Structure 1
C-alpha cells in the first residue's frame, strides 16, 4: 500500500516547483528575522527571488494542459517543432514574428508565424506543449501573464441557439517589434486608431 495516494502524489508533482519556490521565500524571510548586516540583505534577496520564482512557477502550472491531442512538441536550440501523423514542422524562435491562439474544429492551437510567412499550428494539449512556456517567455517583450490568460480563456460558445463558429483567429498574444528600431505592428495599429 502506498504511503501517499496517487491523486495526492500527482498534485504534489504538479506543484513541486511552486512549493520549492515558496520554501526558498520562507527561508529568505527566516534569514531576515535573524538580523544583522549580512543576513538581512541576503534573506531579503532570497525572499524576493523566491517570490519571483513562485509567480513564474504558478504560471507554468496554469500553462500546462493534459495531453489529449496526438503528436509531440519539441523545443530544441531556439526551434519549436511539432510532430503529428497528419501535420507538423519546425519554426525558428529567432524568426518568429507573431503568436496567436486560434480555434479550428473545436480545438485550440498556438499559431506561430515566421517572418517569411510560414506558420505552424501547435495544439495547446499536445504532449510536451508545457515546454512552450519557457520558449515563449524568452521572446522579447512577452507578457507571460497575457500568455497564460489567453490559454485560460474558454473556447467561445455560440450566442443564443447558434452553434459556436468552427474557426476563429484570436487576438495577437505577442508580436515582434520592428527590427529597424521602430515599433511593432500592435503599436502602429493602436496609433492609427487615434489619428
Structure 2
C-alpha cells in the first residue's frame, strides 16, 4: 500500500500540471477580454509543471538499488552496504556521471578531494535532482538527459 502511494507521489507535478491546464482552458473558454489573462497564465503554469514533472520522472526512473540517500540542510549522505559518506553541497567542486559502473554512479568531489560515489538507483536518489539542479549553471534538462542517454563513460556534468 505504501509503495503504491509513493509511486503516485512521483507523478504529483504532472497531475497538478494537467489539472491547472484544464482549469485554465475552462477559464479561457468562459471569459472574455482582459479577464482571459489569468487563463493564459494558467496555461503557462500548467505547461511548466508538466515539464518539470517529466524531468523529475526521467531523472528518478531507476530504483531499487543498494544504499540510501539522505539530504538534510544541503548535506548529502549516502549509506551503502560497502561504501558511504557525506558531503556538503556548498563544498562540492565537481559532479561526474560514471556510466562505466554497474549500476552507473554519480561521483561527487569535494573541494578537499573527498569522493562520494552514489548509484543512480539508490533509495532516495530522486532527492539528488533538486540538489543538483540548484548548482549554478546546471540545468535540470541536462541532468535528466544524461541519465536517459545511459552514457557508458565518465562524463563531467558540473565543475565549480
Fold match by TM threshold 0.5: yes
TM-score, with normalisation over the residues of structure 1?
0.71
Deviations 1:106-155 (A, max 9, x none): 32100111222212111100111011111111211111111111111235
Between the aligned partners of 1:142 and 1:51, the Cα distance in structure 2 is 21
Change (3 A) 1:20 1:88: same
Pair member with larger Rg? 1
More displaced stretch, 129-138 vs 26-35: 26-35
Q: Does residue 76 of structure 2 align to residue 80 of structure 1?
A: yes
**What is the SS of the residue equivalent to 1:91?**
strand
Instruction: List structure 1 segments (4+ residues) > 4 angstroms apart after TM superposition.
Output: 9-14
Between the aligned partners of 2:107 and 2:124, the Cα distance in structure 1 is 16
Q: Does residue 103 of structure 2 align to residue 119 of structure 1?
A: no
Unaligned runs of 5+ in 2: none
Between the aligned partners of 2:101 and 2:157, the Cα distance in structure 1 is 21
Alignment equivalent of 1:57, drawn from 53, 56, 63? 53
Unaligned runs of 5+ in 1: 1-6, 157-167, 177-195
**What is the SS of the residue equivalent to 2:67?**
strand
Higher relative contact order (CA 8 A, sep 6+): 2
Alignment length, in residue pairs?
158
Partner residue, 2:155: 171
Alignment equivalent of 2:131, drawn from 118, 121, 135? 135
Change (3 A) 1:171 1:155: closer
TM-score, with normalisation over the residues of structure 2?
0.85
CA contact (8 A) 2:133 2:139 kept: yes
RMSD of the alignment, in Å?
2.4
Q: Does residue 4 of structure 2 align to residue 20 of structure 1?
A: no
More displaced stretch, 86-95 vs 64-73: 64-73
